[in-house]
Amino acid sequence: MKTSDKKSSMSISNKRKVKVFLFILVLTSIIWLLIELSKTYTSSTIFEVQYTNIPSKKLLQNTSKSEITVTLKAPGFSLLKYKIKKQLLYLNLNYVIKNDSNYYLLSNNQLAYLSEQLSSDTEVINVLNDTIFVELDNNKSKKVPVNPSLDIKFKLGYNLIDKLKIKPDSILITGPEKYVDSIKEVTTEIVKIKDVYKNISLKLVVNQPAKNTNVTFSAKEVSVIGKVDKFTEGSFIIPVTLINIDEGVKVNTFPKEIEVVYQAGLSNFSKITKNSFLIVYDFQQYKNDTLIKYLTPIIEQKSAFISTLKINPSQIEFLIQK
């Protein structure tokens, strides 16, 4: 019994010694690591890079580098921080150099500027990617029309009584000159509507430019408004009107009257009179070609309320009496 108690006591004592040893080992390791990390080292680290201070009236289109490898002189603690998580550095485009049509930066000319962005105990010794090419373009703005991508199918007998109104009907685009110059108009999302018999009021999203062009639009959507009405048909019989007849020349026409058939919205139908349009036949057509036997009508004036207009007959005969 005594022998058993003695062995148990020795076992507990040994375990305590092991724990003490392990504690001292971990503690000394930590102290050693702290001492080592407090020392100054020189090491290379990769940083993400962005560009600041873009020259006036210029846009940054592209660069040859999005990352740079930098040689740092710093305590181990700081170096460990930079290596664990990739950090960001800025390069100053105020120091860009132009050679013909090319622009480039010499990174090692900005060592002090780079060091200022890091902790006070860190010094940038060298940048391995010394020459960085950048693409700069002139910044330009201009207005372009908006072309809505609308597919409208009206209910039978219905139509627009006026042109669609787009607000805004043009937008300002801004970006690199080479891209802005290539844009003649902007379009919208495609919208299809059918069996339309009421007024149109829509919000259309403007198709945005490709992201890699750096072009921006002043508006993201436009309003489209259109007045819709039921259309009906009417007609008038009016006399033939000839113009540009030489003095002393008499021209007889066959027929002497024509029928004008028109369509207009019901809301404006009562406003249409014979004075709502002016149709003439130009005798100059014959002077230009004396072989012709017919004159064709010319619509010189037409009310905005009239959507379509048809003339019967489509040509008239004439006889010249001198």
Name the domain boundary from 191, 226, 261.
Answer: 226
pLDDT-derived band at 87, boundaries 50, 70, 90? confident
Model confidence pLDDT, tens digit, residues 171-221: 999 888 888 999 999 999 999 999 999 999 999 999 998 877 788 999 999
Residues 96 and 121 both lie in one domain? yes
What CATH number has the domain bearing residue 308? 2.170.120.30
Domain-located, residue 311? yes
User: Is residue 249 pLDDT above 60, yes or no?
Assistant: yes
Residues 222 and 235 both lie in one domain? no
User: Is residue 59 pLDDT above 90, yes or no?
Assistant: no
Q: Which residue has the tokens 């603690």?
A: 77
Model confidence pLDDT, tens digit, residues 254-268: 999 999 999 999 989
Question: SS3 sequence, the chain?
Answer: CHHHHHHHHHHHHHHHHHHHHHHHHHHHHHHHHHHHHHCEEEEEEEEEEEEECCCCCEEEEEECCCEEEEEEEEEHHHHHHHHHCCCEEEEEHHHCEEECCEEEEEHHHHHHHHHHCCCCCCEEEEECCCEEEEEEEEEEEEEEEEEEEEEEEECCCEEECCCCEEECCEEEEEEEHHHHCCCCCEEEEEEEEEEECCCEEEEEEECCCCHHHCCEECCCEEEEEECEEEEEEEEEEEECCEECCCCCCEEEEECCEEEEEEEEEHHHHHHCCHHHEEEEEECHHHHHCCCCCEECEEEEEECCCEEEEEEECCCEEEEEEC
Amino acid 247 reads E
pLDDT-derived band at 13, boundaries 50, 70, 90? low
Q: Give the pTM.
A: 0.57
Residues 164 and 121 both lie in one domain? no
Domain-located, residue 29? no
Residues 147 and 216 both lie in one domain? yes
Tokens of 77: 């603690």
| 76: containing domain | 40-129
Name the domain boundary from 97, 129, 161.
Answer: 129
Domain-located, residue 104? yes
Residues 122 and 54 both lie in one domain? yes
Model confidence pLDDT, tens digit, residues 108-129: 999 999 999 988 888 899 998 8
Residue 250 contacts residue 304 (beta carbons within 8 Å): no
What CATH number has the domain bearing residue 117? 2.170.120
User: Is residue 33 pLDDT above 50, yes or no?
Assistant: no
What CATH number has the domain bearing residue 184? 2.170.120.40
Can you give the pLDDT at residue 138? 83
Residues 207 and 235 both lie in one domain? no
Domain-located, residue 215? yes
Strands 40-52 and 88-92: parallel
The tally of domains found in the chain comes to 3
User: Is residue 322 pLDDT above 90, yes or no?
Assistant: no
Domain-located, residue 25? no
Q: Using CB atoms within 10 A of its CB, is residue 66 exposed (0-12), middle (13-18) or buried (19+)?
A: exposed
Domain-located, residue 107? yes
Name the domain boundary from 129, 156, 179.
Answer: 129
Mean pLDDT of 101-110: 88
Residues 256 and 312 both lie in one domain? yes
Domain-located, residue 18? no
Domain-located, residue 22? no
